[in-house]
Amino acid sequence: MKVWSAEIKELTALYESLKGKLPDLEKELEKLVKADDENMVLLYSRRCLEVIVSDLCECELKRQRKTEPLKGVIDKLNKEEKVPSHIITSMLNLNSLSTYGAHPKEFNPRQARTVLIDLHTVIEWYLKYKNIEPGSAEKVKEEQQEIKRLDNLTEHIRKPKKKLIIIASGVFLIIAIVVFNIVSRKKQEQILIKTEKTIAVLPFRNFTNDSTQIYFCDGFMEEILNHLQKVKAFSVRSRTSSDQYRNTEKTSTIIGEELNVNYLVEGSVGREANEIKIWVQLIDAKTDEHIWSGDYIREIIQIFTIQSEIAKQIAHELKTVLSPEEVERIEDEPTENIEAYNLYLQGRYFWNKRTEKGIKEAIEYFSDAIEKDTNYALAYAGLADAYITLAIWGYLPQQEAYLKAKEIALEALEIDKTLAEAYASLAFVKLYHEWDWNGAIKDFERAIQLNPDYGTAHQWYSICLTIFRQHDEAIAEVKRAQELDPFSPIINRAVGNRLYFARKYDQAIEESLKALNITPDFYPTHETLGLAYLQKGMFSEAILEMQKAVRYSGDNLIVKALLGYVYGATGNNAKAQVIHSGLIETSKEGYVPSIAFAWIYIGLGDNDNAISWLEKAYEEHSSSLIDLNTDPIYDPLRSDTRFIELVKKMSFE
């Protein structure tokens, strides 16, 4: 199926309804709808535009076009306000892209869709301009067939005698009732499907050849996504999952199936100096049909207005009535400083790279944004996220990173108490650093209440539930996160991890293998898989997966310690001792967490040393101890009174 098949289908219906009304346009449309090559699609789209613009030149500018370039005529029509500005935008877009058909160059076939959508928009306006009401060929045909069917039925009914008429009428009535019920049921099912307003916002394309503007395109896409998440009737997939479809050739229906959504939003963004040019469209992912598209050419200072307009228009197209509170949240402008906004977008761009270098660059951009606007709550939230990520991946000492993250998250909430991301960040610090279980639960629940589509909040909240052995609830919560963000490596890993803690090892293995099909080199998933294999007694597989985890992690100390634990637990004591000795040597020059030594001693069966090192980990306030109550690693120690006392200190009960 061609990527533009849905648009051609719509234009074919338009062509069928125009026969005999506009011969010149009909001639070019006929060639267009029969074209099966992207260059021909662009070429005949351009010829349709030429027919329309040439006619407008005569009707509105009172002269023949002759050899004058299309753009010159369109600019003149715009200057004299002969054509609405949004139609001018579609004409200019169509004129610009369709030149690739007349002079073939390298381009993305998906751009043909943009051309066809703009052409459909222009033709619909042009028909109104010419006072032509297009008929529906399909509808006329159906009506004629229905009339013929009724005539035949009438003729047939006249012939039988009265008794047969009564019998026939009864049979007809029964059939009619059955058919009505079947059709009604199907319609109800279709309506039910349509009312499930699940949406994915795909990466926006860059209108310009300036690669330095990619961050701006990504940021604009993410802001549209964030606005749609403010609508309670919508369920919006996360950016992590949508990013998988950057530059994809997959059709809308395939993307919809993979993301389990009914609607897709896609678009293009271009920025030159102080002007931005935006094209966006809404697609029915079940049918690949175009629902709505919009073009915007505005000054950069109007960017927040454009974002809110797009979100509200999508809500309108999906027949969603927005509450006053939702409208207020959508129309709220996060900052009045465009320079601060630009810095914030660059911060998010580098944060999404999830590398040490990227996160540290993000911190600089977020900090600069805050310097430009000290009341920019989103910039504070971004900065808090960055410090938490540094703590999670071990790029910064936890004490330092978590304290900064908490301080910054609190500042964000001082400015805007509706920021779900800030509540989630604050809850994460309370969970991993402060061991304030009730405070963490309260803030996670608040984050989810504010933004039910924030997958990370659901994922982190599932950790809280696991701590208190509420395994079924934890699994349901992380599954919800996975539904919202099906391609997130960390969330997919978390599904297997929660199943592992629930002692559902077969399911943990199954989910971990699925996750590795998506991201084969994500070391935390190999780690979970290895531990699940160990509990199943599959020792060779457990060792192999932990070795992969060490390799993919870049010899991370914590992961090496877990490999040492697996070596010890599988009877490979000599190899466990080698890793233990290596950690001792490393500790002479730098910091090695006490929990690392505790795990190796557990694997070796040395409970005395294991508990001694766990007590040191408690003194260090190690975040790894939040799993003390549930992790199968600690099962050999659970009957030891010293371990029981340590668990009591954690106040899990």
187 within a domain of the structure (yes/no)? no
Mean confidence (pLDDT) of the chain: 86
Write down the pLDDT at residue 465. 95
Write down the pLDDT at residue 579. 97
Q: Are 300 and 275 in a shared domain?
A: yes
Does the pLDDT value for residue 106 go beyond 90? no
What is the domain count for the chain?
4
Provide the 8-state DSSP code for 20. T
Q: What is the pLDDT of residues 325-349, one digit of tens each?
A: 899 989 988 888 989 988 988 888 8
Contact (CB, 8 A) for 500 and 494: no
Task: Look at residues 270, 310, 221 and name the one whose alpha carbon lies nearest to residue 93.
Answer: 270
- From 129, 164, 179, the end of a domain falls on 129
What distance in Å separates the CA atoms of residue 562 and residue 559, rounded to the nearest whole number? 5
Does the pLDDT value for residue 547 go beyond 50? yes
Provide the 8-state DSSP code for 160. S
- From 333, 349, 368, the end of a domain falls on 333
Q: Are 57 and 80 in a shared domain?
A: yes
Q: Are 315 and 204 in a shared domain?
A: yes
299 within a domain of the structure (yes/no)? yes
pLDDT over 90, % of the chain: 50
Specify the pTM.
Answer: 0.65
Write down the pLDDT at residue 441. 95
Write down the pLDDT at residue 288. 87
Q: Where are the alpha helices (DSSP H) in 502-632?
A: 505-518, 523-535, 539-553, 557-569, 573-587, 594-604, 607-619
In this prediction, residue 145 has a pLDDT band, given cuts at 50, 70 and 90, of low
Q: Are 388 and 504 in a shared domain?
A: yes
The residues, any chain, with a CB within 8 Å of residue 458's CB and separated by 6 or more, are 448, 477, 478, 480, 481, 484
- CATH number where 68 lies: 1.20.120
175 within a domain of the structure (yes/no)? no
Query: Three-state SS across 77-140?
Result: HHHCCCCCHHHHHHHHHHHHHHHHHHCCCCCCCCHHHHHHHHHHHHHHHHHHHCCCCCCCHHHH
Does the pLDDT value for residue 446 go beyond 90? yes
Task: Look at residues 602, 611, 604 and name the one whose alpha carbon lies nearest to residue 633.
Answer: 602
- From 283, 313, 333, the end of a domain falls on 333
Q: Are 531 and 597 in a shared domain?
A: no
526 within a domain of the structure (yes/no)? yes
Q: Are 425 and 503 in a shared domain?
A: yes
- φ/ψ (deg, to 5) at 201: -100, 115
Does the pLDDT value for residue 646 go beyond 90? yes
What distance in Å separates the CA atoms of residue 273 and residue 396, rounded to the nearest whole number? 38
Burial readout 241-276 (b: 16 or more C-beta within 10 A, e: otherwise):
bbbbbeeeeebbbebbebbebbbbbbbbbbbeeeeb
Q: What is the pLDDT of residues 557-576, one digit of tens each?
A: 999 999 999 999 999 999 99
Query: Taking residues 268-272, what's their average pLDDT?
Result: 86
Q: Are 327 and 427 in a shared domain?
A: no
What distance in Å separates the CA atoms of residue 6 and residue 12, rounded to the nearest whole number? 10
Q: Are 369 and 319 in a shared domain?
A: no
What distance in Å separates the CA atoms of residue 108 and residue 249, rounded to the nearest whole number? 9
Query: Taking residues 287-303, what's their average pLDDT?
Result: 89
Contact (CB, 8 A) for 196 and 262: yes
Q: Which domain holds residue 345?
A: 340-564
Contact (CB, 8 A) for 456 and 469: no
154 within a domain of the structure (yes/no)? no
